[in-house]
Amino acid sequence: MNEIEPVVAEGAHSSSSGAEGAQTSPRIAEGAQAWPRADHSTEPACGRAPMGLLAELTYRCPLQCPYCSNPLEMDKPSTELSTAEWQRVFKEAAELGILQLHLSGGEPTARKDLEELVKTASQSGMYTNLITAGVLLTKDRLKALQDAGLDHLQLSIQDVDEANAEKISAYKGGLAKKRELCGWMHALGMPLTVNAPIHRANIENLPAIVEFAVAMGANRLEVAHVQYYAWALKNRAALMPTREQMMKTVEIVDAAKEKYKGIMVFDFVVPDYYASRPKPCMGGWGRGSMNITPSGRVLPCHAAESIPGLEFDNVRNKSLSDIWLTGQAFEKYRGTSWMKEPCRSCDRREIDWGGCRCQAMMMTGDPTNVDPACGLSPRHAEFVALATAESHVTTPPPFVYRRLGGTVG
């Protein structure tokens, strides 16, 4: 069986950061990078500014996607940063040299002050990208966001089969609202990325998803196989496609890239479980981006809280710049000095940075182990076998839906 490299994307790598439905990196301007390319430089990563900031404005969301990248224990709405706190953070981010701001959640449009936040970020000079499920937006609000300086919108979709989309999101009428939103985007001339998390429950509809994105006038389609963290990990047995299904998506995307050359750009993220080498998660720990939770904790990646022993600073107590330069959680796995074999002597150690610390923790119990997605990991065969076994179960288990304050089977 062929093994494939972790990420097949046009012009941009992927991470596993994301929002309500987006398990992959927020996409940005054409040709821009989600993080600095590996350059084999020995320059300390903290000696340069992060490129991107993912601001999780709230964990509130009307959808309940079973692959949400938000943690199982979510910050309560009452603890969210205030408008003034976010505005201060955005100014600090711009001063630090951050170029791209991804406004995410939960559902960021649940924040009534979103226009104010976009305006501050835009006036500070950052490129602003709204990552949304789109169902709460109105035409007037979209226009207000554009007027406030919003540069780009990334719309997540669950499926283009309405009944299936409703089953996946536990939300009725979402697809019609998304279509309507795409029409407004088109009328306003705003750049649009459609993000389609792909898994066992929608993988057979990928050709129709491609056609949907084209019909909606998207500039970019992110075909993002679900990455198995947080809620997706909890639902892995219900979501994991077979390797054969995954390989078929490679063919579909390759053909679509050819067919829609010059019309729509594709990003393609394969599931770690069927990769031969890991993704350079977050472009390397503490190298290119920061995540801020709704209540202000600053994380090197969205799942970092799953790693014991890390101390997360809060923007309420410390400047973003101090956190980036000296924060314990950022320093811990920055660079290569923490690595053990096989990564330590591997010639890819400054390309993929040993893969994903959180996945190493989840699957091996030690974040300094090589990511089991790597074929050189002693746990790789076991990792692949797990996916193979789960994906071949005839009747997958029901979804455990993402909910604030508890899970519902």
Q: Which residues in this chain contact ligand FES in the complex, by CB under 6 A? A: 16, 229, 281-282, 285, 301, 303-304, 356-359
**In angstroms, rounded to a whole number, what is the distance separating the alpha carbons of residues 225 and 332?**
29
Q: In the complex, what is the shortest distance from the CB of residue 134 to ligand FES, in angstroms, rounded to a whole number?
A: 25
- The answer to whether 380 contacts ligand SF4 (rule: CB under 6 A) is no
Residue labelled with tokens 């995307």:
253
- Stretch in the footprint of ligand SF4 (CB under 6 A) among 94-102, 294-302, 310-318, 371-379: 371-379
Q: Strand 52-56 vs strand 289-292: parallel, antiparallel, or unpaired?
A: parallel
**In angstroms, rounded to a whole number, what is the distance separating the alpha carbons of residues 55 and 18?**
10
- Which one of ligand FES, ligand SF4, none is in contact with 86 (Cβ closer than 5 to 8 A by kind)? none
Q: In the complex, what is the shortest distance from the CB of residue 368 to ligand SF4, in angstroms, rounded to a whole number?
A: 11
Of 151 and 313, which has the nearer Cβ to ligand FES? 313
| Neighbour tally for 41: CB within 10 Å | 11
Which residue of the chain is nearest ligand SF4 when measured via CB?
346
Q: In the complex, what is the shortest distance from the CB of residue 169 to ligand FES, in angstroms, rounded to a whole number?
A: 23
Of 40 and 112, which has the nearer Cβ to ligand SF4? 40
- Which one of ligand SF4, ligand FES, none is in contact with 348 (Cβ closer than 5 to 8 A by kind)? ligand SF4
Residue type at 173 in one-letter notation: G
- Which one of ligand FES, ligand SF4, none is in contact with 88 (Cβ closer than 5 to 8 A by kind)? none
- Which one of ligand FES, ligand SF4, none is in contact with 277 (Cβ closer than 5 to 8 A by kind)? ligand SF4
What's the sign of the alpha-carbon dihedral 234, 110, 132, 207? positive
Non-local CB neighbours of 75 within 8 Å, separated by 6+ positions = 59, 293, 294, 295
Of 106 and 354, which has the nearer Cβ to ligand SF4? 354
Phi-psi region of 179 (alpha: psi -120 to 50; beta: other; left: phi over 0): alpha
- The answer to whether 331 contacts ligand SF4 (rule: CB under 6 A) is no
- The answer to whether 343 contacts ligand SF4 (rule: CB under 6 A) is yes
Tell me phi and psi for residue 49, to 5 degrees. -75, 150
Going by the DSSP 8-state scheme, the letter that residue 306 receives in this structure is: G
Of 111 and 234, which has the nearer Cβ to ligand FES? 234
The two structure tokens encoding residue 54: 């993912």
What's the sign of the alpha-carbon dihedral 158, 290, 273, 409? negative
State the DSSP H helix or E strand holding residue 289, giving kind and residue range, or none if neither: strand 289-292
Closest by Cα among 242, 244, 208 to 223: 208
- The answer to whether 342 contacts ligand SF4 (rule: CB under 6 A) is yes
- Which one of ligand FES, ligand SF4, none is in contact with 303 (Cβ closer than 5 to 8 A by kind)? ligand FES
- Which one of ligand SF4, ligand FES, none is in contact with 357 (Cβ closer than 5 to 8 A by kind)? ligand FES
- The answer to whether 277 contacts ligand SF4 (rule: CB under 6 A) is yes
Going by the DSSP 8-state scheme, the letter that residue 205 receives in this structure is: G
Residue ranges that bind ligand SF4, judged by CB under 6 A: 277-278, 342-343, 346, 348-349, 352, 354-355, 370-371, 374, 376
